[in-house]
Homo-oligomer: A and B are copies of this chain.
């Protein structure tokens, strides 16, 4: 079982150093400490275990060290920055493992950009040696890239020429969409195994600058000073500690404080329930800060994140997740009100940004989601996003039982999808006026009102409820899981496309296609044959 919980004291591959306003994320991968057997993490190459630490470090920076203004991503090994995803790991992984690995890595790269865009921390990739493949893809997720000019160091994307696969962790997309490298130059760069060095790399926009070895550290330090001095991140903030998540694990359940996950493996579905906040909710910043990571919204969404990652990686046969909530709608709305009232405060902002990232993780999870709204639930405001993220929403219509949902200001923009729209906007592309109407209505929606407003898919009555839900679950879990993955990846992201949707849609789908092709993974494929005395043999028919 792959465990996503870690902390700096446990890191094996990264060193997180904080010096006032500057954090240094130093990559120093231990060759032997792999997540699986059969490969060594040479030359700062990485597997999922390395990226889990990186994701943790980025998350932790935001909560534990809010005063950090600049993050330097570099290598602690001489003459090599990072050789990218480990090829032997990729070559020996199952298709599903490759796909999940790339998705998580992509999310981590996006988390860097999310921190930069929304929290103002600047990320500098200080390439003290060659950055190839995923190493350059990590660099290109940073705001600025500086490469040492030691006569040898290069940036490269050798996936196509060496491995017959794509730079699929955002590489191709960020090349032409983020750094806007001219497409013919991007073509040359992406087919040139040895990569591009110094001046040419700068001229083409692949890096921001290069410096000779003797001046490299000084130049980086000078640029860091510049960025610190013009940063709008306030000085002197005191963070909160992110403690390890507590989770009671049994054979078919994971029970956290506010989240419980029950696996019905024989039926290929899981029940994922979120529990609303209890009473005595803090309204003042001092008490929120005092609660730290025990504060309900932070805790429940961290737990949800962990449950989703667990489902993705450790429970491949679960095809459908039934989302439920339990608790008091008023309490959820009170939390949302507090989130809105203090949105200018760093801890509240970071909490909301984390909630948004976790919901985007849900959007990108290759499982079907049905939201089930029953009496006693609290699908309101931030938790209503779960229902809006679900592929379908069923709401019990029983006049004898109170069953309601509600919107809050949080639904109006704080939790955007990767397409840049809110989930309400994505839902009502055909009738944008409905979004405003729904957001304006501050009462509760009972099942009839919710159905009328278009907020739920079906509202069966109590006579039909059990059968309808059972049949819907049985039917869903009987369908081809691959077709569902492709269908959901299309239907969930209507409307505009962004760099993120291009990475997770277009680029990822092509990479997944290639990850199945004999030219990459067959007996004679390039990925399979890498590092072996045999040469790849291609079927040259173009598709």
With A176-B491, A176-B494, A489-B506: A481-B160 Cβ-Cβ less than 8 Å: no
**B residues near A188, Cβ cutoff 8 Å:** 392, 457
Pick the contact of A505 from B95, B317, B454, B505 — CB < 8 Å? B505
With A172-B491, A510-B489, A516-B516: A483-B542 Cβ-Cβ less than 8 Å: no
**B residues near A463, Cβ cutoff 8 Å:** none
A186 to B512, CA, bound (A): 24
Interface membership of A367, Cβ < 8 A = yes
Q: Are B481's CB and A173's CB within 8 A?
A: no
Q: Are B519's CB and A480's CB within 8 A?
A: yes
- For A97, the closest partner residue in chain B by CB is B543
A491-521 Cβ-contact flags toward B at 8 Å (1 or 0): 1111111000110011101111110110110
**B residues near A492, Cβ cutoff 8 Å:** 183
With A482-B517, A513-B509, A526-B480: A491-B186 Cβ-Cβ less than 8 Å: yes
**B residues near A96, Cβ cutoff 8 Å:** 541-543
Q: Are A392's CB and B184's CB within 8 A?
A: yes
With A481-B542, A483-B514, A506-B505: A185-B490 Cβ-Cβ less than 8 Å: no
Interface membership of A251, Cβ < 8 A = no
Interface membership of A99, Cβ < 8 A = yes
How many chain A residues touch B (CB < 8 A): the figure is 92
A230 to B175, CA, bound (A): 47
Q: Could you say which of A13-21, A207-215, A427-435 contacts chain B? A: A427-435
With A367-B542, A516-B517: A497-B494 Cβ-Cβ less than 8 Å: no
Pick the contact of A430 from B180, B481, B511 — CB < 8 Å? B180
A509-543 Cβ-contact flags toward B at 8 Å (1 or 0): 11111101101100000100000000010111111
**B residues near A481, Cβ cutoff 8 Å:** 519, 538-543
Q: Are B480's CB and A160's CB within 8 A?
A: yes
Pick the contact of A180 from B175, B391, B494, B542 — CB < 8 Å? B494
Q: Are A542's CB and B317's CB within 8 A?
A: yes
**B residues near A179, Cβ cutoff 8 Å:** 430
| Residue with the greatest number of chain B CB neighbours at <10 A, chosen from A429, A485, A487, A509 | A487
A177 to B505, CA, bound (A): 15
Interface membership of A182, Cβ < 8 A = yes
Q: Are B482's CB and A513's CB within 8 A?
A: yes
Interface membership of A166, Cβ < 8 A = yes
A-B pairs with the 7 shortest C-beta distances?
A509-B509, A164-B480, A180-B430, A497-B497, A486-B510, A176-B494, A172-B490
6 contacts between A and B (CB under 8 A): A164-B480, A165-B483, A191-B487, A480-B526, A481-B538, A506-B506
Residues of A within 8 A of B (CB): 95-96, 99-100, 159-161, 163-166, 172-173, 175-177, 179-188, 190-191, 205, 268, 316-319, 366-367, 390-393, 426-430, 454, 457, 475-477, 479-497, 501-502, 505-507, 509-514, 516-517, 519-520, 526, 536, 538-543
